Amino acid sequence: MPCLDRFERFLYEPGTPVLIKAALAHVQFETIHPFLDGNGRVGRLLITFLLCAEDVLADPILYLSLYFKTHREEYYERLQRVRTHGEWEEWLRFFLEGVRETSAQAVQTAREILTLFEHDRGRIRESLGGRAGSTLRVHEVMQRRPLLTIKEAERRSGVSRPTAQKSLERMAQLGITREVTGSRYGMTCLYEPTWRSWSAGPSRSSRALAEGVGEPRARAARQSGAGAIRRAVNPPAEPGARWRVGTLPHTRSP
């Protein structure tokens, strides 16, 4: 497929500001429509992958899906007007406004979640005093995994299984978490306020930002994940291989 080949070359072509490149890449991918199914999902992910590949994002925290869905009619109109009338500037304005709006919403939600984390940590310290250490370690795990089993709490916090269970029970007694299985053995707890915040949208961005709270080891793991994305989007070329410079295919009415 020649147009897909030219599209791939454009992704590796230097000189275009990365947000502009992401906007152009999205509309072109949706126009090429290379798959029988899933083009929309892949096209939206492509935006985030490009920003990670260009080191604009350390983590994949910007998703425009909610913005596109909220402005669904205008989104499809802008895409079509690029194809039929070459209205690239109008599409870029729409896209960049989406980046601004989504980023602002994600930061606001993340700040609310961080405030909740600090508030709950204070309640744990105040209630448990000198016994708070293990519970705080389990609480830190729940900041990244709001639905947590005893087994996962034990593995991720480094405390013993009885201590992990006791910590979850203590947080449930404080109203911080809620047990959702109805069984004390093999219990699973939900960090409900955080879960609600994540579900309110823009969920993926807020989740990734909230996960920025944690020990350096977790940060390093997330950075490794972002590196894996960058390697997937921009794999190292084989020895001697060179990318040919191409142009972005487009249509413009006479």
Span 22-46, average pLDDT: 93
Domains and CATH numbers, the chain: 2-108+216-233 (1.10.3290.10), 109-197 (1.10.10.10)
pLDDT score for 163 = 96
Query: Residue 200 pLDDT > 80, yes or no?
Result: no
pLDDT score for 186 = 77
Span 144-159, average pLDDT: 94
% residues pLDDT > 90 (the chain): 56
Phi-psi region of 33 (alpha: psi -120 to 50; beta: other; left: phi over 0): left
CA angle 113, 66, 18 (to 5 degrees): 95
Alpha-carbon gap, residue 227 to 204, rounded angstroms: 18
Strands (DSSP E) found in the chain: 147-149, 178-179, 188-190
- Is 124 within 8 Å of 174 (Cβ atoms)? yes
Query: Residue 216 pLDDT > 80, yes or no?
Result: no
- Is 202 within 8 Å of 106 (Cβ atoms)? yes
pLDDT score for 124 = 96
User: 104 or 2, which is more confident?
Assistant: 104
Query: Residue 193 pLDDT > 90, yes or no?
Result: no
- Sequence-ordered list of residues with C-beta below 8 angstroms from that of 110, at least 6 positions apart, any chain: 205, 206, 209, 210, 212
Tell me the two tokens of residue 71: 């402005």
Alpha-carbon gap, residue 162 to 160, rounded angstroms: 6
Span 167-186, average pLDDT: 88
Window from 63-72, 93-102, 103-112, 115-124 with minimum mean pLDDT: 103-112
Window from 74-78, 148-152, 203-207, 210-214 with minimum mean pLDDT: 210-214
Alpha-carbon gap, residue 208 to 203, rounded angstroms: 9
Tell me the two tokens of residue 223: 């950075």
Query: Residue 151 pLDDT > 70, yes or no?
Result: yes
Alpha-carbon gap, residue 66 to 201, rounded angstroms: 8
Looking at every residue in the chain, the average pLDDT score rounds to 80
Give the pLDDT band (50/70/90) at residue 185: confident
User: 3 or 240, which is more confident?
Assistant: 3
pTM for this structure? Answer: 0.65
Window from 10-14, 155-159, 168-172 with minimum mean pLDDT: 10-14
Q: What is the number of other CB atoms lying within 10 angstroms of the CB of residue 247?
A: 9
Q: What is the pLDDT of residues 51-95, one digit of tens each?
A: 999 999 888 878 899 999 999 999 999 999 999 999 999 999 999
Alpha-carbon gap, residue 77 to 84, rounded angstroms: 10
